[in-house]
């Protein structure tokens, strides 16, 4: 069987995720990861693959942050309704939570 995509050592992926800093360009992160893994004696990963990995992780983190913010808004709305002695529509809350999870 021919391998189509490279299989990177878990230490490379871990280093990329730990060294990522949104305030710095991806190219700088890639240089740091490459230097780190060379010290470990591992072959340097390509810039293209690291960039794809870092971009995907940044996107995942943004989506997670947006989900958490929406869940906090939902909790604040339920709290406000409770404080003002309004009836909380649990079906509406459940639907909002389900939508936030998507």
Q: Which string of DSSP letters, residue by residue, matches 45-71?
A: PPHHHHHHHHHHHHHHHHHHHHHHHHH
Q: What is the rounded average pLDDT for all residues in the chain?
A: 87
pLDDT at 5 over 70: no
What are 54-95's pLDDT values in tens digits? Answer: 999 999 999 999 999 999 999 999 999 888 888 888 899 899
Give the DSSP H or E segment for 80. Answer: helix 47-83
Hey, what are 82's tokens?
């409770």
CA distance 68 to 82: 21
- Sign of the Cα torsion 7, 10, 12, 13 reads positive
What pLDDT score was predicted for residue 26? 92
**Count of C-beta atoms within a 10 Å radius of residue 87:** 7
């Amino acid at each position: 069987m021919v391998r189509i995509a490279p299989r990177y050592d878990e230490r490379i992926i871990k280093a990329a995720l730990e060294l990522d800093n949104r305030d710095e360009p991806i190219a700088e992160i890639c240089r740091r990861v490459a230097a780190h893994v060379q010290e470990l004696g591992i072959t340097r990963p390509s810039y293209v693959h690291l960039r794809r990995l870092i971009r995907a992780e940044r996107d995942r983190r943004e989506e997670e942050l947006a989900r958490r913010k929406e869940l906090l808004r939902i909790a604040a709305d339920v709290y406000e309704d409770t404080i003002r002695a309004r009836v909380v529509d649990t079906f509406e809350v459940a639907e909002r939570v389900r939508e936030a999870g998507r």
